[in-house]
Amino acid sequence: MKRILLTNDDGFDSSGLLALKDALKDIAQVMVVAPANEKSACGHGLTLTRPLSFVRLDDDFYKLEDGTPSDCVYLALNTLYQSSCKPDLVISGINLGSNMGEDITYSGTAAGAMEACIQGVPAIAISQLMPDKNRSKHFDFSLAKECIYEITELIFTKGFPLGERKFLNINIPHIKPKECKGYKITQMGYRIYADNAHLHRNPRGQEYYWLGLHPLEWEERSDMPHSYGSDFKATHEHYVSITPIKLDMTSYEDSSSLCEWIRL
């Protein structure tokens, strides 16, 4: 039977993670290793300054005390799995909220998938657009569950579609399954950010800032091939967005001009 490792950045008790586990339980042996606490927007960080401990909650279900998604994947692959029987796939999610455009660079969900492909295991990051993650306990993940089942089954049948150090970033629109128009292969759009730092004072008069959430605004890229729209546009038009992401961030198109600039 195929083996899948699941992680996330919303914590081990997230409704999205539990929905993901439920969606895949019949087609693979599923292990969950997730952070003990929410680690949203933690990026691709590993914990190097303090020890980490697994807490076993159930068969093949662990939380990692104060660990990041990258910690979870790194430790799971190198301790819970034998070197000869690594999982066939790592899936990070289902994230409570989108991960599109430059948000991918902040995302702990994407980081879990990044760590997996660095370790040589095919990976997917999957996120669910939703208006209010505080109401996620009552959210219907049926479309996301259908999609991840179909895509996982396709991977197990035809093989993973990407090469080394690449992963699939999937975003599910906030619609009912019958309203979904299908899948679209997309590119990262340009996320528009604004100042959302809120100044407050504690009872002693000391100032502190609380970072809020930016509205989901974007613009299409001018350098985008005509046949590929952005991840934002696809979900806005009721498609499931699938974006191939690579870890190589080298700007190859600028290499020649940089050589001329530095006169090499």
Q: What pLDDT does residue 239 have?
A: 98
DSSP H stretches of helix in the chain:
15-24, 69-75, 103-106, 108-118, 142-158, 231-236, 255-262
Q: What pLDDT does residue 12 have?
A: 97
Both tokens of 154, joined, read 């396709």
Q: What pLDDT tens digit does each residue of the chain (264 aa) get?
A: 999 999 999 999 999 999 999 999 999 999 999 999 999 999 999 999 999 999 999 999 999 999 999 999 999 999 999 877 899 999 999 999 999 999 999 999 999 999 999 999 999 999 999 988 777 888 999 999 999 999 999 999 999 999 999 999 999 999 999 999 999 999 999 988 887 888 999 999 999 988 877 778 888 887 766 668 999 999 999 999 999 999 999 999 999 999 999 987
Q: What is the DSSP letter of 247?
A: S
Q: Is 22 helix (H, G, I), strand (E, B) or coil?
A: helix
Whole-structure pTM value = 0.94
Within-domain flag for 260: no
Within-domain flag for 209: no
Rounded Cα distance, 123 and 125, in Å: 7
Amino acid, res. 64: L
Give the domain CATH number at 121.
3.40.1210.10
b/e sequence 158-191, b meaning 16+ C-beta within 10 Å: eebeeeeebbbbbbbbeeeeeebeeebebbbbbb
Tell me the backbone φ, ψ of residue 215, rounded to 5 degrees.
-60, 150
Within-domain flag for 86: yes
Within-domain flag for 164: yes
Within-domain flag for 210: no
Q: What pLDDT does residue 225 have?
A: 66
Q: What pLDDT does residue 194 have?
A: 81
Both tokens of 222, joined, read 């001018």
Range of the domain at 62: 3-187+221-249
Cβ–Cβ under 8 Å, residues 7 and 34: yes
Q: What pLDDT does residue 226 have?
A: 63
Within-domain flag for 162: yes
Cβ–Cβ under 8 Å, residues 78 and 116: no
Q: What pLDDT does residue 221 have?
A: 81
Cβ–Cβ under 8 Å, residues 67 and 75: yes
Within-domain flag for 102: yes
Half-sphere exposure of residue 32, counting CA atoms within 13 Å on the CB side?
A: 28
Q: Domain count for the chain, please give it.
A: 1
Rounded Cα distance, 190 and 187, in Å: 10
Within-domain flag for 208: no
The answer to whether the bond into 192 is cis (omega within 30° of 0) is no
Both tokens of 25, joined, read 């339980």
